[in-house]
Structure 1
Amino acid sequence: MGMKTDGRLLRGEQTRRLILRHAMDIASVDGLEGLSIGRLATDLGISKSGLFAHFGSKEELQLATVAAGREVFQAEVVEPARALPPGIARVRALLERWMDYAERRIFPGGCIIYAISAEFDARPGRIRDAIAANRADWQAYLERSLERAVELGELPPDSDVPQLAFELESHVLHAVGASLLYDSAEPFTRARAAVATRLAA
């Protein structure tokens, strides 16, 4: 009985991952509002009742997609950068990995975090709160990484870390949006140059 139960749980988790992967692909292009139980059921050949068993409502599906997007960002950007020693090398790796992740179009719409942030920035509620919490965690980690670089003497002791983090993030975010709008890699080339210049200054 235990083995049968474990097998059902494993299949259920695999199905959930499949659903969320497709949901992230859709959300990166059409936004979280582009998600629906019906659309996913049709696209994946799964019954609506089966999808409801995993998520229960459209809002729960959207929240799960936000969480899944965070996990992908962590795996593609944050974790690889942590392999480098603390300081400026890790800061550069964080920004480079972010640009690489968006430029490789892991999702059809590039960076899912960018896409859903723009969609919900003026819409109060649980989804915006979840997106804002994710962004705040990322910004705090980037600032901590910059502060460590200051402590190590790799950045000037009087560095305005929140301002520096804001400027660096702005370069990358602009590149993500412009690369999609113009279907061009040039914005990433310019962002890389801007990041390198700002850190060197």
Structure 2
Amino acid sequence: MERMGKGESTKAAILEEATELASLVGLGGLTIGTLAAATRLSKSGLYAHFASKEALQVQVLQYARDRFTDVVLRPTVAAPRGEPRVREFFERWITWQSTAFDGGCIFVDAASEFDDQEGPVRDELVRAERDKLESLTLIVGTAVSEGHFRDDVDPEQFAYELEGIILAHHHARRLMRDGRAEERARRAFDRLVDSCRAAARTA
């Protein structure tokens, strides 16, 4: 395993704190100044790592995307192909929503901030979203090819509906403080899976 140099490890530690901070104050509220105050590092030292507020925000999103890959995607693809892998993705995704950062999912929060703001930050958000949905579509495709889901199941539509469930869970849990948010999300997911199962699995 390749070891990081001191400079790289320092930057990784700063990005970890910056991502946590962004989950609390919003990506738009993350600046060199707010990060300096939170980390007690000098602005000049932070500028050595991040040339601008925008560069910091983009790198925070890249850090969060790498973390999502490590926490959700890599363990998911290690699960058995087919429906078990779809379920693994859901379990890890909903856990990510609840535990990844103190302020909730940074991608959901940032999407509401930057959906109408053109530029590198929005571009990075779109890239992360497309990569996630592409991965999920491929995972659902294995459920079709393994015969767990019907041949006429549209993996892209499944991914769309599952993201709707996850977003509803985030809204219910974070804004409405609904103690049954996860229970409701699981029931919705089970109904979605049941609607896609091949007839042989429901007989």
TM (norm. structure 1) is 0.90
Runs ≥4 residues deviating over 6 A = none
After superposition, where does 1:64-103 map in structure 2 within 5 Å? Answer: 64-103=59-98
Shift of 1:71: 1.0
Residue 3 of structure 1: aligned partner: none
For 1:156, the equivalent position in structure 2 comes to 150
Q: Structure 2 stretches of 5 or more lacking a match?
A: 196-203
Q: C-alpha displacement at 1:87, in angstroms?
A: 1.1
What is the rounded CA distance, in whole Å, between the counterparts of 1:42 and 1:10 in structure 2?
Answer: 25
Offset of 1:146 from its aligned partner? 0.9
**Residue 116 of structure 1 pairs with residue 101 of structure 2:** no
**Partner residue of 1:193 out of 165, 183, 187:** 187
2:147 is paired with a residue whose SS is coil
Choose the corresponding residue for 1:135, options 124, 129, 146: 129
Which string of whole-angstrom CA distances, capped at 9 and with x for unpartnered residues, describes residues 53-91 of structure 1?
001111110110010010111111111111102211111
- Quote the Cα distance in structure 1 between the aligned partners of 2:153 and 2:117: 34
Q: Distance in 1 between matches of 2:149 and 2:112?
A: 32
Residue 184 of structure 1 deviates from its aligned partner by 3.6
User: Aligned equivalents of 1:182 and 1:26: distance in 2?
Assistant: 22
1:39 to 2:34 alignment? yes
Structure 2: which amino acid aligns with 1:189? E
Aligned residues: 192
Give the alignment's Cα RMSD to 1 decimal.
Answer: 1.4
Letter in 1 for 2:59: A
Partner of 2:57: 62
Cα shift readout 1:120-139 (whole Å, capped 9, x = no counterpart): 11111111111001100110
**Overall identity of the aligned pairs, in %:** 38
Instruction: Report the CA distance between 1:174 and its aligned residue.
Output: 1.0
Distance across 1 between alignment mates of 2:156 and 2:24 = 30
Q: Match of 1:37, as an amino acid?
A: I
Whole-Å separation in 2 of the counterparts to 1:17 and 1:139? 26
